[in-house]
Amino acid sequence: EGRILELHSPDGVHECWLRAADSAEANVWFNALHSALAALTLKALRLASALPDPQQLQHIGWLARRHCLQLKYANRHGEADYILRKKKKV
């Protein structure tokens, strides 16, 4: 039908399906998500490059905090949170 967006977790365990009214609305949702994530990725990369030792960076991923109140979903800061994991020293 072209009106369903599938969001998958990086490990492939979880998924979420968003069904739009039509394919045009699904396309708008896809473009909005893509644009927001592209901008947030650039922001996270700038923050990561400012680390004292960016070579220790192992993974950059996204977490979304969801606060549900009467079908309103919002992140506390209005944007996704980023996570930075350092390599474990052996």
Integer Cα distance of 8 and 17 in angstroms: 9
Which pLDDT band holds residue 21 (cuts at 50, 70, 90)? very high
Please compute the mean of the pLDDT values over residues 16-29 and round it to a whole number: 91
Q: What is the pLDDT of residues 60-88, one digit of tens each?
A: 766 554 444 433 333 344 444 444 444 44
What are the structural domain ranges in the chain? 4-48
- Side chain identity, residue 35: S
At residue 69, what are phi and psi to the nearest 5 degrees?
Answer: -150, 110
Residue with the bigger pLDDT between 57 and 64: it is 57
Report which of 3, 39, 5, 7 is spatially closest to residue 24, judged by C-alpha positions. Answer: 3
